Structure formats: C-alpha cells, structure tokens
Amino acid sequence: MSLDLKKLFEAWCLTNYAAGFDDSLSLRCLLLVYWDLAHQNSDRKITLEIAAEYVCPKTLSALLNLPIISSAEEHFLSNKEKEILALQNDLGDNPLQITPERGRRKTLQFLICSGADILCHNRGKE
C-alpha cells in the first residue's frame, strides 16, 4: 500500500482536515490566513459541510471566528459570518440541514442560537 501525500494535500485543504478532526485551535490558526471555506475537496465536500458532520460547537465557533462559547448562548453574527453559515454543498444543504442527520444536538443548538436560517430550503425545496 502506498500513500501519495502530495496528491492527498492537493485534494484536501488544511481547514478540511482540522474540521474533520474537530481541531478548533488549528482552525483558529489557519483562519488567520484567508482560506476559501466554500472550496470543494476531492470528495466534493466543503469545509463547513465537514464541520457540520463531525464537530462540536467549539470548532464551528472557530470557523465563524467567534470567541469560545457554549452551545446555549445566543450569538450575534455579522453579515460575513451569516454568509458562511449559509454556504451550501452540492445538494444545496447548509450546516443547519446537515447537522441533524448526524445526531449533533449541541451543534444544532449552536447553529440556531447563531442565527442560522431555520426556514432554509435546499435545491429540492426540502
């Protein structure tokens, strides 16, 4: 078995790895430099989609550049942060639609408290 690290790193950006491994500290460091959170990796997933599937509120707050907070606190997001929360995957799903599928109750609560659009629809109008 061989592993082509160069190809692997070209296909996935570092923010995707940090999101997938729920590494909020690395995300905070990586976001000091501009990273396109809408960039699709080789699996056609965006960073925010990976985060919605695998992480806790602490890591999502890092992606939104919020202070370390609890999932039950109400947050007031800027327009830029609201745009990040509205990013959609290929199916038109945003984090608010992806999180419940993975059973991430605290993360869902965090998204709602952060002002995610609870009336959103994907491309299939679901």
Residue 122 resides in a domain: no
Query: Which residues, 6 or more positions from 70, have their beta carbon under 8 angstroms from its beta carbon?
Result: 57
Give me the domain span that covers residue 60: 5-113
Distance CA 61, CA 120 (A): 21
Residue 120 resides in a domain: no
Instruction: Report which of residues 110 and 71 the model is more confident about.
Output: 110
Query: Which residues, 6 or more positions from 92, have their beta carbon under 8 angstroms from its beta carbon?
Result: 121, 122, 123, 124
Residue 33 resides in a domain: yes
Distance CA 96, CA 110 (A): 10
Residue 29 resides in a domain: yes
Q: What is the pLDDT of residue 73?
A: 63
Residue 67 resides in a domain: yes
The pTM of this model reads 0.66
Q: How many CA atoms lie within 13 A of 30 on its CB side?
A: 20
Residue 59 resides in a domain: yes
Instruction: Report which of residues 122 and 80 the model is more confident about.
Output: 80
What CATH number should be reported for the domain holding residue 104?
A: 1.25.40.20
Distance CA 76, CA 43 (A): 32
Residue 39 resides in a domain: yes
- Angle at CA 97, nearest 5°, toward 46 and 36? 20
How many separate domains does the chain show? Answer: 1
Whether the per-residue pLDDT at 95 is higher than 80: the answer is: yes
Q: What is the pLDDT of residue 28?
A: 83
Whether the per-residue pLDDT at 96 is higher than 80: the answer is: yes
Residue 126 resides in a domain: no
